[in-house]
């Protein structure tokens, strides 16, 4: 069965190193998402595994078999590319049945599998249409149905839900995962959408500049991001610059600009060390101004903007030292309106205040995803 | 737009549309693929002529006015940059042909380039730009064009999810600062909520409803909106008691109370409630809660989504903010669900059936 192993794989295009000395292992039956911004090497990685690109260095194993020189069609993988190459002269159902038929299934069996796949991708009603009669989103679902029906155990999908409307994407991602799991497939799914990755994946591999930043379960990637880039790319976070002013066994005091100090439970710094504090937007609490007793990390602040996002409201809040943080509050908990210009408290629980070394290229550069 | 209809042969792309966009308003149009939202915006732009009806800007009839005379800036799904001009020349094209050379115009162009993070790309030509960079150039060009009415058709569609959430705030900020009027078509309801003053919900060529983001989310008038804008649980039941203070509904043997006044005659109803408004606690059998068992748990970053199978057989989605209590529940746990009466919405059971009424295809 298809486990997958990459050892020190490098792929260059001229002067650009798209994949840089990358190693990873994927277990049989695992659903892995490769997550990263445009240009991080996600598609290149998938194509190296599919065999439509050849690596410059390193080894790729599917199961125990070294596949560097094995042709794509001999690798027993299904590759669903972003530009879905559908057969234009075949109908929808014929497109899907092509793989199972080629694999030796009878016409009846092949059509049974195909109908099932069209049902799940909600194309059953269009079985007799031709690809050029379908919308972009439908063509993408067709490519997905064809991939799932092909019978290969290792499924490689490049933005399989990318061309769909946001609302439909949300519905299909649950279905996609359960289908892969029901059939016991091993799946590698490339996406730039962190929410999609968290919902479908057993494990997320975060890629940047052709290198793995972190590989872990969704919960870990979100709650213990290994660096500033991962914290920023996976979920909303506030970053504040400061230096270590005091440290004891229970935690540290971090001096921010203009005289503000924050407490964190993290320790092990040298005094004066320059660091970056990170706190998730939903851990950044907004409290109405009123009588409150002195408390650690309770800061006076002013609301500078309010965005309603449906199940959440995001407050942009200016702290007294000039730093700005976002606070994400569930709509159900914020029945009373807080408006722009209102004075509030921001509370940051010390155990939720994480720290990272100050990046050599500067914080701004590290946060640049555009 | 007054009674605007657009037909393509037998297909009715837009049917009897009446829509008023106010001066300096940011209006979003949302709806599933093929609902007619792009047709509508192209009618305003003058790229297609409506089959029937009139389009006015500032009380001037626009039907048959050529595109170039409509004083409209636009960014469409199919990006059309001038291929022989670099990024700077593309962005400064509008002001240049109008002969605006003031320092104020130049600083506006500079600001657009900075906002779209195109500073390092000003000398590049479109063919070397990524899809995202082309899209950003097109947005910067529209904002600098000097037009007071801007039309956006999926302007952020080709960008990464993370970039999209950063740019949508910038886009709204610039439109508001420059005091422009914008009509923005998107399939992404969260984008619409973050950016719009008001949202138009469309389906199959018709306007379903229009409202502020808050109205559409908290008090959707139609079942379709309740499903398309954010997630909702839907259950079918019978009204057993109705007063001015609300109604009690029987659903598979259990009861729910809604604080909403019933303003229709039908007894068979659809109950809608958002997953994040449901309160989940340890089992505590009272008449006000439903008992159930967690069948599924998915971690989605700042929230956790559960599916609870209740004793009366419903499968109910519940979302809890991660920050509060998400870690204490697991698949298999028995729980109680409480449904706050003021967040329970009631709709008459639709003639075409529930699934058809909320279908997004």
| Domain co-membership, A99 together with A20 | yes
Q: What's residue B323's pLDDT?
A: 60
| Domain co-membership, B252 together with B163 | no
Q: Judge whether residue A370 has pLDDT over 60.
A: no
| Domain co-membership, B19 together with B154 | yes
How far does Cα B51 stand from its chain's mean position?
Answer: 27
The verdict on a CB contact (< 8 Å) between A332 and B276 is yes
| Domain co-membership, A191 together with A48 | yes
Share of chain A above pLDDT 90, in %: 65
When pLDDT is cut at 50, 70 and 90, the band that residue A1 belongs to is low
Look at residues B97, B77, B213 and name the one whose alpha carbon lies nearest to residue B145: B97
- What's the average model confidence in pLDDT over B159-176? 87
| Domain co-membership, B6 together with B77 | yes
Which three-class secondary structure string do you get for A309-344?
Answer: CCCEEEEEEEECCCCEEEEEEEHHHCCCCCCCCCEE
Indicate the pairing of strand A298-308 with strand A312-319. Answer: antiparallel
What is the tally of structural domains in chain A? 2
| Domain co-membership, A176 together with A290 | no
Structure tokens at A46: 């998938």
CB pairs under 8 A between A and B: 115
| Domain co-membership, B175 together with B297 | no
Element (H, E) at B232: none
| Domain co-membership, B23 together with B44 | yes
CB B229 within 8 A of CB B189: yes
CA distance A277 to A257: 12
Structure tokens at A10: 């490098």
| Domain co-membership, B353 together with B278 | yes
CA distance A105 to A97: 9
Among candidates A137, A198, A311 on the partner chain, residue whose Cβ is nearest the Cβ of B299: A198
- What's the average model confidence in pLDDT over B239-248? 90
In a domain, B81, yes or no: yes
Q: What's residue B170's pLDDT?
A: 85
The CB density around residue B219, as the number of other CB atoms within 10 Å, is 12
In a domain, B228, yes or no: no
Element (H, E) at B101: none
CA distance B220 to B209: 8
| Domain co-membership, A201 together with A217 | yes
The verdict on a CB contact (< 8 Å) between A165 and B187 is yes
| Domain co-membership, B255 together with B287 | yes
SS3 category, B178: coil
In a domain, B21, yes or no: yes
Q: Judge whether residue B274 has pLDDT over 90.
A: yes
The verdict on a CB contact (< 8 Å) between B33 and A234 is no
CA distance B163 to A192: 10
| Domain co-membership, A246 together with A341 | yes
Q: What is the CATH number of the domain that holds A104?
A: 3.40.50.300
Q: B223, B250, B282 — which closes off a domain?
A: B223
SS3 category, A159: coil
| Domain co-membership, B80 together with B191 | yes
* B361/B153: higher pLDDT: B153
| Domain co-membership, A68 together with A178 | yes
Mean pLDDT of chain A: 91
Kindly identify which residue of chain B lies nearest to residue A194, measuring between CA atoms. B161
In a domain, B151, yes or no: yes
What is the strand order of the sheet B345-348 is part of?
A: B254-258, B246-251, B233-243, B268-273, B345-348
What is the strand order of the sheet B303-310 is part of?
A: B279-281, B334-338, B289-300, B303-310, B315-321
Q: For the whole model, what pTM was predicted?
A: 0.87
CA distance B57 to B195: 22
SS3 category, B305: strand
Q: A230, A250, A281 — which closes off a domain?
A: A230
* Beta carbons within 8 Å of A249's beta carbon, 6+ residues apart: A267
Q: What's residue B247's pLDDT?
A: 94
- What's the average model confidence in pLDDT over B191-202? 96
Residue pointed to by tokens 């997004």 = B360
Q: What is the CATH number of the domain that holds B284?
A: 2.40.50.140
- What's the average model confidence in pLDDT over B78-102? 86
Selected residue of B162, B191, B232 to mutate for chain A interface (largest A Cβ count, 10 A): B162
The verdict on a CB contact (< 8 Å) between B276 and A331 is yes
- What's the average model confidence in pLDDT over B29-48? 91
Share of chain A above pLDDT 70, in %: 98
| Domain co-membership, A242 together with A209 | no
CA distance B332 to B313: 15
| Domain co-membership, B260 together with B310 | yes
What is the tally of structural domains in chain B? 2
CA distance A45 to A19: 7
CA distance B288 to B125: 65
| Domain co-membership, B218 together with B237 | no
| Domain co-membership, B28 together with B118 | yes
| Domain co-membership, A113 together with A243 | no
| Domain co-membership, A206 together with A246 | no
Domain span at residue A320? 236-367
Q: What's residue B326's pLDDT?
A: 62
* A310/B317: higher pLDDT: B317
What letter would DSSP give residue B144? H
Q: What's residue A132's pLDDT?
A: 85
In a domain, B30, yes or no: yes
Q: What is the CATH number of the domain that holds B141?
A: 3.40.50.300
* B137/A368: higher pLDDT: B137
CB A130 within 8 A of CB A124: no
Domain span at residue B342? 233-358
For the ranges A77-91, A170-184, B216-230, B253-267, the one whose mean pLDDT is highest: B216-230
CB A345 within 8 A of CB A287: yes
CB A317 within 8 A of CB A303: yes
Distance from CA of A332 to the nearest CA of B (A): 6
Distance from CA of B334 to the nearest CA of A (A): 23
Q: B189, B223, B257 — which closes off a domain?
A: B223
Residue B322 sits at φ, ψ, to 5 deg, of -55, -40
The CB density around residue A171, as the number of other CB atoms within 10 Å, is 15
Q: What's residue A369's pLDDT?
A: 64
CA distance B158 to A82: 13
* Residue A195 CA: distances (Å) to CA of A231, A245, A277, B233: 13, 37, 23, 20
| Domain co-membership, B197 together with B69 | yes
Element (H, E) at A280: strand A274-280
Q: Judge whether residue B287 has pLDDT over 90.
A: no
Q: A213, A230, A247 — which closes off a domain?
A: A230
The verdict on a CB contact (< 8 Å) between B161 and A234 is no
When pLDDT is cut at 50, 70 and 90, the band that residue B98 belongs to is confident
CA distance A333 to A182: 38
CB B108 within 8 A of CB B114: no
* A290/A197: higher pLDDT: A197
Q: B198, B223, B248 — which closes off a domain?
A: B223
Selected residue of B160, B177, B327 to mutate for chain A interface (largest A Cβ count, 10 A): B160
| Domain co-membership, A165 together with A310 | no
Q: What is the CATH number of the domain that holds A358?
A: 2.40.50.140
| Domain co-membership, A306 together with A221 | no
CA distance B309 to B323: 24
pLDDT one-digit tens code per residue, B211-239: 999 999 999 999 999 999 989 999 999 99
Selected residue of A178, A332, A334, A347 to mutate for chain B interface (largest B Cβ count, 10 A): A332
pLDDT one-digit tens code per residue, A210-237: 999 999 999 999 999 999 999 999 989 9
Among candidates A135, A195, A331 on the partner chain, residue whose Cβ is nearest the Cβ of B301: A195
- What's the average model confidence in pLDDT over B275-280? 93
* Beta carbons within 8 Å of A336's beta carbon, 6+ residues apart: A288
Torsional class of B246: left (φ above 0), alpha (ψ -120 to 50), beta (otherwise): left
| Domain co-membership, A225 together with A313 | no
What letter would DSSP give residue B100? -
Give A307's strand partners: A314
């Amino acid at each position: 069965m298809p486990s997958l192993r990459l050892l020190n794989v490098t792929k260059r295009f001229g002067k650009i190193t798209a994949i840089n000395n990358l190693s990873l292992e994927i277990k049989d039956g695992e659903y892995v998402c490769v997550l990263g911004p445009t240009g991080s090497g996600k598609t290149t990685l998938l194509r190296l595994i599919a065999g439509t690109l050849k690596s410059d260095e390193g080894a790729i194993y599917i199961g125990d078999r070294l596949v560097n020189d094995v042709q794509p069609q001999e690798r027993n993988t299904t590759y669903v590319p972003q530009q879905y190459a559908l057969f234009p002269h075949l109908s929808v159902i014929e497109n899907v049945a092509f793989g199972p038929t080629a694999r030796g299934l009878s016409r009846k069996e092949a059509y049974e599998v195909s109908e099932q796949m069209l049902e799940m991708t909600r194309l059953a009603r269009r079985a007799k249409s031709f690809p050029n009669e379908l919308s972009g989103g439908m063509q993408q679902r067709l490519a997905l149905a064809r991939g799932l029906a092909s019978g290969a155990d290792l499924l490689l999908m490049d933005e399989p839900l990318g061309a769909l409307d946001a609302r439909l994407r949300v519905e299909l991602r649950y279905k996609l995962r359960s289908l892969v799991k029901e059939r016991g497939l091993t799946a590698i799914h490339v996406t730039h959408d962190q929410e999609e990755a968290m919902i479908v994946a057993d494990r997320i591999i975060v890629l940047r500049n052709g290198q793995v930043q972190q590989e872990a379960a969704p919960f870990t990637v979100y709650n213990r991001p290994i660096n500033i880039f991962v914290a920023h790319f996976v979920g909303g976070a506030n970053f504040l610059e400061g230096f270590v002013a005091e440290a004891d066994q229970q935690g540290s005091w971090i001096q921010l600009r203009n005289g503000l100090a924050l407490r964190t439970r993290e320790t092990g710094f040298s005094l004066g060390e320059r660091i970056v504090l990170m706190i998730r937007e939903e851990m950044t609490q907004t409290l109405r101004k009123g009588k409150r007793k002195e408390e650690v990390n309770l800061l006076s602040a002013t609301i500078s903007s309010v965005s309603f996002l449906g199940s959440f409201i995001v407050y942009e809040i200016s702290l007294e030292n000039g730093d700005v943080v976002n606070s994400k509050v569930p709509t159900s908990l914020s029945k009373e309106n807080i408006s722009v210009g209102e004075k509030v408290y921001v509370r940051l629980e010390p155990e939720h205040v994480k720290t990272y070394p100050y990046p050599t290229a500067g914080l701004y550069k590290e946060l640049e995803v555009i | 737009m007054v009674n605007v209809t657009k037909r393509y042969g037998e297909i009715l792309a837009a049917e009897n549309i009446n829509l008023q966009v106010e001066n300096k308003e940011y209006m979003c149009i949302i709806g599933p693929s093929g609902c007619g939202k792009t047709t509508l915006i192209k009618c305003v732009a003058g790229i297609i002529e409506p089959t029937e009806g009139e389009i006015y800007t500032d009380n001037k009839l626009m039907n048959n006015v050529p595109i170039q005379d409509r004083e409209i800036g636009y960014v469409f799904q199919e990006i059309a940059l001038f291929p022989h001009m670099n990024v700077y020349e593309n962005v400064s094209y509008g002001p240049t042909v109008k002969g605006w050379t003031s320092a104020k115009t130049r600083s506006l162009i500079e600001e657009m380039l900075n906002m779209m993070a195109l500073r390092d790309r000003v000398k590049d030509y479109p063919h070397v730009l990524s899809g995202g960079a082309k899209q950003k150039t097109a947005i910067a060009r529209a904002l600098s064009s000097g037009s007071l009415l801007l039309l956006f058709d999926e302007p952020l569609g080709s960008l990464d999810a993370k970039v999209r959430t950063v740019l949508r705030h910038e886009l709204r900020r610039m439109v508001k600062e420059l005091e422009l009027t914008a009509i923005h078509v998107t399939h992404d309801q969260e984008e619409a909520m973050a950016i719009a003053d008001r949202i138009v919900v469309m389906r199959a060529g018709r306007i379903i409803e229009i409202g502020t983001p808050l109205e559409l989310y908290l008090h959707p008038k139609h079942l379709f909106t309740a499903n398309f804008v954010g997630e909702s649980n839907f259950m079918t039941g019978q009204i057993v008691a109705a007063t001015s203070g609300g109604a009690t509904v029987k659903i598979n043997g259990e009861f729910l109370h809604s604080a909403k006044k019933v303003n229709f005659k039908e007894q068979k109803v659809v109950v809608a409630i958002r997953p994040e408004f449901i309160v989940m606690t340890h089992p505590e059998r009272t008449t006000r809660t439903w008992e159930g068992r967690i069948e599924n748990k998915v971690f989605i970053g700042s929230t956790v989504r559960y599916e609870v199978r209740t004793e009366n057989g419903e499968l109910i989605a519940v979302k809890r903010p991660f920050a509060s209590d998400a870690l204490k529940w697991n698949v298999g746990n028995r729980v109680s669900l409480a449904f706050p009466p003021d967040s329970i919405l009631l709709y008459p059971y639709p003639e075409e059936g529930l699934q058809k009424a909320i279908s997004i295809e």
